[in-house]
Structure 1
């Protein structure tokens, strides 16, 4: 290959810029031209494509968000939209594509590969919900953002002797809630992958209160339900003063951690290597600290799972 493209799609995540930088510089090192596709698949369809140079990605490794921007694109879910995208790629002479994003972005890369255009997916999402990799780009940064918030809220919870419900992101995956709850010493963690009974939560809070505990932290993944609603139910059942904090989009922003910068650099470089080897329809990841790649279809077909041992441990430590 002499020309490859790179785009970011779906929700932004810290470290995407580091991945873009790695793709561009790894390719140029091997005398391959790189074209940035702006605004994700929407920009691909409309031809928002520009050649990138070494300097284009200078001073971005530490920046959150994505310099290529991102957007949702329903049109690309159709075969007509996909063929429009391929037409644009051929117009610029692009022979392979690196797609940085989550499962929706991977689905688009799979469709392009099925149409004969080689793509490699790089997992970039704070939800950590992509199969075939232990960690996704942005998860560690978002996790540390949540932990920092929990620590600060605990100070207030202690001072005012309140129960706090903290809602974090994770529509279908509870990793952010589980990891941050365990690290932040939460009394209860609610995730989509595990059933819970409100009576059990209430009983746990009351037991703690009876032994002299003055405050509690409950972490809720958004996929479980509204943190506000859960907070109301808890206050009504316990009569304890309860407050709710919905962390929202603050979790997506910020300078990526060292872990995310290194991970993004390794995964971005691996994606280029695969394209140069003539391999498409792959998804890169990290498992046991080794960079790996899998068939993108297998990745999409596998259901995300949590570390059940961690969830059990979180309940054992929050007695």
Structure 2
């Protein structure tokens, strides 16, 4: 193998640039030509491909987002779109591809592998919802962004004796809400994986108010529903002054934490090693601080599971 490429796809995540840097420099270290594909699979189909040098990834390890940009592409899900991508890979004589993104990105990588172009997936998503790895690139940074915001909101909540509902990202996975809620002592954590027990939430709020508690923090993952709608339900049921904050895309930005930089660097290098060994259709990850890799189809067939012990603990500590 002499030429490989890297792209980022789907939602951006802090640490993607650190992963790109690792892929580029590890490839050059081993004498490979490395190409960057801009704008994800859409850019692949359009031929947005450029050769990367050592200097191409200088001074990016600390930057959020992705220097290769990202996009979602419905067209690439079609056989015609995939064929356009394959033609571009052949045109540039690229023999292997590294895809940084989530499960949707991995489906594209699997299709290319089946067509004879070995691909390696690197899990990059703040949702931490990829099976086969303890953590995904961007999760730790997003989590710390949420915690910093909650800490500031708590100051206001205390000053005005209010209940706050804080809506965080997590359409199908509640890891961000769960970890943030446990780390910041939230009274209730609402996640897609657990049925919403509104009566229990209200009961806990009322008990706290009766014993003199001045404020409450409720963390709600966006997959559960609207934070504003939930806040109104709480105020109607308790008559407690309730405010809502939707953190939104602030959770995706910012300089990656040391943990995300190190994780991205390790996973990026591992992906190159797999291609050099002639492997394709794999997803890299980390389990118990050890690098691992799994078959892409195995990962796509699994469903991410929440840590139920952490969820139980959060309820026990928020009495």
Answering whether residue 212 of structure 2 is matched by residue 212 of structure 1, we say: yes
1:39, distance to aligned residue in structure 2 (A) = 0.3
Taking the aligned partners of 1:237 and 1:111, their CA distance within structure 2 comes to 51
After the TM superposition, which residues 62-77 of structure 1 pair with which residues of structure 2 at under 5 Å, given as runs?
A: 62-77=62-77
Deviations 1:1-40 (A, max 9, x none): 1000000000000000000000000000000000000000
Taking the aligned partners of 1:179 and 1:121, their CA distance within structure 2 comes to 25
Taking the aligned partners of 2:207 and 2:92, their CA distance within structure 1 comes to 66
Unaligned residue ranges in structure 2 (runs of 5+):
none
**Equivalent position of 2:38 in the other structure:** 38
Answering whether residue 149 of structure 2 is matched by residue 149 of structure 1, we say: yes
1:115, distance to aligned residue in structure 2 (A) = 1.3
1:161, distance to aligned residue in structure 2 (A) = 0.1
**Equivalent position of 1:2 in the other structure:** 2
1:167 partner SS? strand
**Equivalent position of 2:122 in the other structure:** 122
Structure 1 stretches of at least 4 aligned residues deviating more than 2 Å after TM superposition: none
Taking the aligned partners of 2:223 and 2:115, their CA distance within structure 1 comes to 34
**Equivalent position of 1:279 in the other structure:** 279
1:214, distance to aligned residue in structure 2 (A) = 1.1
Taking the aligned partners of 1:107 and 1:170, their CA distance within structure 2 comes to 20
Deviations 1:39-86 (A, max 9, x none): 000000000000000000000000000000001100000011011101
**Equivalent position of 1:202 in the other structure:** 202
1:117, distance to aligned residue in structure 2 (A) = 1.1
Answering whether residue 68 of structure 2 is matched by residue 58 of structure 1, we say: no
Answering whether residue 280 of structure 2 is matched by residue 291 of structure 1, we say: no
Taking the aligned partners of 1:211 and 1:68, their CA distance within structure 2 comes to 54
**Equivalent position of 1:184 in the other structure:** 184
Taking the aligned partners of 1:251 and 1:6, their CA distance within structure 2 comes to 24
The number of residue pairs the alignment matches comes to 319
Taking the aligned partners of 2:180 and 2:107, their CA distance within structure 1 comes to 29
1:196, distance to aligned residue in structure 2 (A) = 2.0
**Equivalent position of 2:233 in the other structure:** 233
1:234 partner SS? helix
Deviations 1:229-285 (A, max 9, x none): 000000000000000000000000000000000000000000000000000000000
Deviations 1:188-229 (A, max 9, x none): 000000112211111110011001101000000000000110
1:287, distance to aligned residue in structure 2 (A) = 0.2
Deviations 1:137-177 (A, max 9, x none): 00000000000001000000000000000000000000000
Q: How much is the aligned-residue C-alpha RMSD, in angstroms? A: 0.4
**Equivalent position of 1:19 in the other structure:** 19
**Equivalent position of 1:249 in the other structure:** 249
Unaligned residue ranges in structure 1 (runs of 5+):
none
2:300 partner SS? helix
Q: Calculate the TM-score normalised by the size of structure 1.
A: 1.00
Taking the aligned partners of 1:185 and 1:197, their CA distance within structure 2 comes to 19
Taking the aligned partners of 2:197 and 2:179, their CA distance within structure 1 comes to 21
Taking the aligned partners of 1:114 and 1:317, their CA distance within structure 2 comes to 49
Q: Calculate the TM-score normalised by the size of structure 2.
A: 1.00
